[in-house]
Amino acid sequence: MKVALIGTHGVGKTTLCYELAARLKRRDVNVEMVQEVARRCPLPINRETSLAAQSWILHTQMAWEIQAEADHQVVICDRSVLDNYCYLVHATGPQPAWEPLLSRWLLTYDLLVKVPLWSAPRWDGVRDVDLVFQRAIDQLIDLQMRQRGLACLDLTGHEPSRWGQVVMARLEPIVCPMPPLFPEEDDPIPFPTPKMS
C-alpha cells in the first residue's frame, strides 16, 4: 500500500509522515517513508525552480517510491508526483510531455491525503517563506486534483493534533485489521510535571 501526503510547503506533511510511520511501527507494520525529494535537488528550487530541477525531482521521487515499495508493506510519501508537478506548472506552465507519465503514476497511490494550508512556512534553510507562493501552490494542487478527478482524504476541518488519528482510522482496517494489543500506546505518554523545591 502506498500513501502520499499532498499539500503546499510548510503545513506539517513531514511531521505527519513521521507520526504515521511511528503509529504503524507500533502495529508491527513493515513501513517505509519516502522523504521529501526536493531537499536533495542539486539545482535551485522554490520560486527559482526550472524544468530541469523539477524533472530531476519527479524522476527521483518515482525511483525512491519504487525502491521503498520493493521491500515494505506500506510506503508513506512526504509529497506525491502531483505536488512536485504543481511546482513545475507554477514556474513554467503546463508540461504536456509529462502528462502521460504523471497520469499513470498517480494511479499507483492507494491513498492521497490532502494536508490543508493552515500555517505560514518557517525558514529552515531550504523552505521558501513567501506566503503568496505558498498559497499559489496550495491552489494549484487543489485545481489539479479537481481537473484530474482525484479523490483524497482531506484533513481540512480537523485539528492538526488529530491528523494522525484521522489518517490511521482510514489505514487501520486495511493494513492492521487486528486491534492493537495495548491501545493506550497510541496516546501520548504524559510526562510528570517536575516538582519545584
Tens digit of pLDDT for each residue in 136-150?
999 999 999 999 999
Report the C-alpha gap between 176 and 182 in whole angstroms: 14
CA distances from 152 to 3, 44, 165 (A): 10, 30, 16
pLDDT band for position 191 (cuts 50, 70, 90):
very low
Could you tell me the pLDDT band of residue 197, with boundaries at 50, 70 and 90? very low
Binned at pLDDT 50, 70 and 90, residue 30 comes out as very high
Given a contact cutoff of 8 angstroms between Cβ atoms, the answer to whether 115 and 15 are in contact is no
Please say if the pLDDT value at position 193 is more than 80. no
**Per the structure block, which three cell numbers stand in for 47?**
520560486
User: How confident is the model at residue 45, as a pLDDT?
Assistant: 87
Tens of pLDDT, residue by residue over 105-117, are 999 999 999 999 8
Q: Which residue has the cell 513545475?
A: 88
Evaluate if residue 189 carries a pLDDT over 70: no
Query: pTM of this prediction?
Result: 0.85
Provide CB contacts within 8 A for 154, sequence distance 6+: 114, 116
Mean residue pLDDT of the chain comes to 88
Higher-pLDDT residue of 177 and 140 is: 140
Residue 134 has pLDDT above 70, yes or no: yes
> What's residue 157's pLDDT?
79
Are the beta carbons of 28 and 175 closer than 8 angstroms?
no
d(CA 197, CA 193): 13
pLDDT of 68:
97
pLDDT at 196: 52
Instruction: Tell me how many degrees the CA angle 75-59-24 measures, rounded to the nearest 5.
Output: 10
Q: What is the average pLDDT across 151-163?
A: 90
| CATH code assigned to 2-186 | 3.40.50.300
pLDDT > 80? residue 167: yes
Give the CB-side neighbour count of residue 60, counting CA atoms within 13 A. 17
What average pLDDT does range 29-42 have in this prediction? 91
Helix (H) / strand (E) containing 112: strand 111-114
Tell me what pLDDT residue 155 has. 93
Q: How many H helices and E strands in the chain?
A: 6, 5
Q: What is the DSSP letter of 128?
A: -
In 3D space, the residue among 30, 43, 27, 34 whose CA is nearest the CA of residue 13 turns out to be 34
pLDDT bucket at 99, cuts 50 / 70 / 90 = very high
User: How many whole angstroms separate alpha carbon 173 and alpha carbon 85?
Assistant: 31
